[in-house]
Structure 1
Amino acid sequence: MSVPADTIHLMSESDTASISSYWDAAAASFDDEVDHGLRDPQARRAWGERLRSWMPRPPADVLDLGCGTGSLALLLAEQGHRPVGVDLSPLMVEQARRKLTAAGFDSPVMTGDASDPPAEAGHSFDVILVRHLLWTLPDPEGALRRWIGLLRPGGRLVLVEGRWQTPTDDHPYAAESGPLPWFGGVTAERLLQALRPLTADLRTEPLTDPDLWGRPIHDERYAVIAHP
């Protein structure tokens, strides 16, 4: 679904408050999902292997946007990288900080709009990692442009995405938030279409291994690795 240029916008204050509250309410049980908490050794190993294949040699400066409770940031830190996490939910951020601190890492994690990362997160990264965030954004294509602008020469944008739901209407997932162009996920072809004018090199990788999700997957799951 395309959105007219005059309706594209960053999240308003009411959007931000509503969506932050939505994810705060989910924070306590968020890690119960196999691919969120990575408590299952097979899932943890599977995501660790994928991250290792997508990242440059450590240490790399990695901006983890929509970091949730910090499970991927922790894997990155364990692999020798320097992750910085950003999430809109203060309760998710608290959990991520505790998780990293308990493992002996002082990686910064901060509350902020991942679609337009706060200045204190930094301005230049080797990698920007984003997992299952684009569907939550009112202007996903604008976010892609902003993220690519934060990459150093030779950097890469790693997007873990999928199309898992076909919405029957345009109702937002959080009360008072605006319409979402990619609600329910985005197909690989649609995402590649958005990225082609912004990047010099693109590749996609299917993510259908049940170990990643704790169950067999019957919808579209994939990663896109983009180099400007």
Structure 2
Amino acid sequence: MATKKQCKCEENDDRHLEDIEMYWTKRSPHFSDEIEASIMEGHYTDWLNLINEEIDTTKRLRVLDCGCGPGFFSIILGREGHHCIGIDYSAGMVEMANRNFEKYGVLSKAYKMDAHNIEFEDNSFDLIVSRNMMWTLADPKRVYSEWMRVLRPGGKIVCFDGNFKLYLHDEEYMEVWKEMNSKEKSKRTVPGPTAAQFKKMEEITGNDFEVCHHRRPQWDIGILLELGATEVSAKVPGISGAYVERNGERHYLPMMFKVCATKADPTHPVVFHRA
């Protein structure tokens, strides 16, 4: 029998998920406008290149777009001939994604689903892609574990994310965050969140989530290795100029990054031989 404490925790979790769903659903039209601007202005090629450099582009892959939002990755990969399935916890994002798939003529499909409990069988996908989702989650380690489960042996994870809340617990990142946030505002072609929306986003993404306390991608690399990935790498695409001076030395602090991992393939084991 569940205790009162357990019931209270479950009730809080359910309420938190409802808040998340409501917030991102309300903002789904804004994010749809953002991805449309990226596609129309040709900026999507930067993201496509960052994915393509990690995969065999001669093969048609079965792709899971996790936290798909309005369907950006599913659109640009679908146009390359890949079979994409998007999942997102926001019903509004899912609706917007499916609308965009039809608009851009891709055969992708999006479903409402919790990334912590992916409703697909083991070994279902060749590639899993995600952008700016992990930092918003209460248990990203659980999500990485689910990704490794549904990924086929030899399959690849390509995850884009960032240290977007580390500034709350890391003084050096606070310096970097202030500078980069100011630059980002000046470059926006689509209006960003209002003050009220930003405050709500701060609430639902959890200022004290475990992921907010770790410097990444170092933390992600360790988790993926623990989960059995055979090849793990990280890249900081074009954001390497963020740094602080300490004891006369320059220390670089990545804000955004790409983490890639490969699931072990028993038919092609990685073997180290003695010299």
TM-score (norm 1): 0.80
8 Å CA contact retained: 2:123, 2:153: no
Q: When the two structures are aligned, how many residues end up with a matched partner? A: 211
Deviation, structure 1 residue 115: 2.5
Q: How does 1:138-157 map to 2 (within 5 A)?
A: 138-157=138-157
Structure 1 residues 122 and 62: alpha-carbon distance in aligned structure 2, compared to 1, 3 A threshold: farther
Percent identity reads: 24
Deviation (angstroms), 1:176: 10
Q: After TM superposition, give the deviation of residue 20 of structure 1 in Å.
A: 0.2
Distance across 1 between alignment mates of 2:254 and 2:205: 29
Query: Which residue of 188, 210, 218 corresponds with 1:189?
Result: 218
Structure 1 unpaired stretches of 5+: 1-5, 211-217
Aligned mates of 2:133, 2:54 — CA distance in 1: 18
In the alignment, what sits opposite 1:205? 235
More helix by proportion, 1 or 2?
Answer: 2
Structure 1 window deviating more from structure 2 (77-86 vs 158-167): it is 158-167
| 8 Å CA contact retained: 1:30, 1:37 | no
Q: Which runs of 5+ in 2 are unaligned?
A: 1-5, 170-198, 241-252, 264-275
Taking a change above 3 Å as real, the CA distance of residues 164 and 174 of structure 1, as seen in their structure-2 partners, is: closer
Which whole-Å CA distance do the structure 1 matches of 2:26 and 2:203 have between them?
Answer: 11
Could you tell me whether the CA contact under 8 Å between 2:62 and 2:82 is conserved in 1? yes
- 1:105 and 1:66, CA in 2 relative to 1: closer, same or farther beyond 3 A? same
Structure 2 counterpart of 1:86, one-letter code: I
Superposed, which structure 2 residues align to 1:13-32 within 5 Å?
A: 13-32=14-33
Which residue is equivalent to 2:260? 225
Q: Alpha carbons of 1:103 and 1:40: their partners in 2 closer, same or farther (altered >3 Å)? A: closer
Retained in 1: the 8 A contact 2:160–2:258? Answer: yes
Deviation per residue, 1:182-221 (Å, 9 max, x gap): 24985111111211222111111222269xxxxxxx8522
Runs of at least 4 residues off by over 6 Å: none
Tell me the CA shift for residue 106 of structure 1.
2.7
Worse-superposed segment, 109-118 or 160-169: 160-169
Secondary structure at the counterpart of residue 117 of structure 2:
coil
1:214 corresponds in structure 2 to none
Match of 1:49 in 2: 49
Please name the residue that 2:104 is paired with.
103
Q: Which moved more, 1:78-87 or 1:188-197?
A: 188-197
Report what 2:61 is aligned to. 60
Structure 1 residues 145 and 77, CA, compared in 2 at 3 Å: closer, same or farther? same
> Aligned equivalents of 1:185 and 1:68: distance in 2?
25
Q: Measure, in 2, the Cα distance between the counterparts of 1:122 and 1:93.
A: 23
Over alpha carbons, which structure has the higher Rg?
Answer: 2
Normalising by the residue count of structure 2, what TM-score does the alignment of the two structures yield? 0.67
Whether the 8 Å contact between 1:165 and 1:185 is mirrored in structure 2 is no
Counterparts of 1:76-87 in structure 2, within 5 Å, are 76-87=77-88
Match runs of 1:29-44 below 5 Å: 29-33=30-34, 38-44=38-44
**Superposition CA RMSD, Å:** 3.2
Q: Does 1:116 align with 2:114?
A: no
1:126 and 2:126 matched: yes
Instruction: Indicate if the aligned counterparts of 1:206 and 1:222 stay in contact, CA closer than 8 A.
Output: yes
Deviation at 1:38, TM superposition (A): 1.8
